[in-house]
Structure 1
Amino acid sequence: MKNAEFNITSFLDEYKRRDQMRRDFIIHEGCTAIEEIIKEVNKRGSLNEADIYYETPKPQLSFSDVELGYMLTSMMEYATNHVGNPVDEECEFENKLAYFEYKDEIIQIFEVYGQGTDSWFSKPSEDTIERLNNTAYGVYLIQFDDFINYTKNKDSESNELSSSSTILNDITGGHTVERGSK
């Protein structure tokens, strides 16, 4: 039984460590990262973690594929939780989209589900940009600075709570779980 408790504690410590690394990267490097992402997307058309390994020429980024993954995952989670996600009706696979604006540049995250999940940054079409700027579709456009501020606030909240309650809160989605609850 002691080994099981140690493994759970070890798992929770690792979860918290990775979550803190993700938040630290977004808070301290997020603006630089999004500028580099936008620059690469404007050059290439899209960018994901595999591009860092396999593309020739390699993307000119000051961060790793793991950190690019932090950005993709965290930004999509933020969009899903704060404004929802439109879908690309023309795509044959289940998908969702997110749109972020930073310094008058709009970037899109496209996430596709099939035999796995794949996501990447891309440039939205001119038609989509027009709809985001001039129609009710604009509710899906998120200011990147709002995402950074949200991450900073979550980090401050996390530092105020004990480590076990933070992890339990993250795992349960903010629901209180008590001994014997169903």
Structure 2
Amino acid sequence: MDEMQRDFIIHEGYTAIEEIIKEVNQRGVFNEAVIYYGTPKPQLSFSDVELGYMLTSMMEYATNHVGNPVDEECEFENKLAYFEYKDVIVQIFEVYGQGTDSWFLKPSDETIDKLNNTAYGVYLNQFEDFINYTKNKDSESKQLSSNSAILNDITGGYTVERGSK
């Protein structure tokens, strides 16, 4: 995850998820196309690129932490992710075909019931955990780049490899 993406999520993530949930509740579905072509035009504090950051980062987080169920009824290869924020669940649907497309949507009542009352709930991610994970990754990244600079200073800019003379 690049620095711009992490900064957006860390500093604007809560505002963005609240606006995403609002749009999903009004429209049923929300992605970059809605920002361009939606009627009425959504009033957002973030851009389509930043919405892409959220979709990509949240899906990666879900994939790496709990895995992803699939929609068996969809004819295309796909994966799903679920996030809860302030007792509201939002779903991410990602489809692969001639490219990748993903969007936020409101899960069905049946899906919400499964997430809350069955083993399917293992797929439910807490948005707060996603933000904290991103903050921790940001700290690790800053620590690593700081250590690299120190090593570079010590070696005078030369790369020191194992077994070299």
Tell me the TM-score range normalised by the shorter chain.
0.7 to 0.9
Superposed counterparts of 1:20-169, under 5 Å: 20-162=3-145
The 8 Å contact of residues 107 and 121 in structure 1, kept in 2 or not, is answered as: yes
Structure 1 position 58, deviation (Å): 1.1
Instruction: Quote how far apart the aligned CAs of 1:164 are.
Output: 10
1:88-127 alpha-carbon deviations (Å, 9 max, x no partner): 0000000000000000000000000011100000000000
Q: Which runs of 5+ in 1 are unaligned?
A: 1-17, 166-177
- CA shift digits 1:28-60 (9 cap, x unpaired): 100010000000000000000111111121112
Q: Does the Cα contact within 8 Å between 1:99 and 1:109 map onto a contact in 2?
A: yes
5+ residue gaps, structure 2 = 149-160
Return the TM-score normalized by structure 1: 0.79
CA distance in 2 between partners of 1:110 and 1:163 (Å) = 37
User: Residue 79 of structure 1 contacts residue 142 of structure 1 at CA under 8 Å; is this kept in 2?
Assistant: yes
Counterpart Cα distance in 2 of 1:93 and 1:139: 24
Task: Give the CA deviation at 1:162.
Answer: 2.1
TM-score of the pair, normalised by structure 2: 0.87
Equivalences, count? 150
Distance 1:142 1:40 in 2: 20
Q: Deviations over 1:39-89 (max 9, x none)?
A: 000000000011111112111211000000000000000000000000000
Cα distance change of structure 1 residues 134 and 29 upon mapping to structure 2, 3 Å threshold: same
More helix per residue: 1
Q: Are 1:40 and 1:60, in contact at CA under 8 Å, matched by a contact in 2?
A: no
Q: Which has the larger radius of gyration?
A: 2
Q: Is the 8 A contact 1:101 1:141 kept in 2?
A: yes
What code does the residue aligned with 1:92 have? Answer: E
Matched residue SS, 1:107: strand
The separation in 2 between residues aligned to 1:71 and 1:161, in whole angstroms, is 24
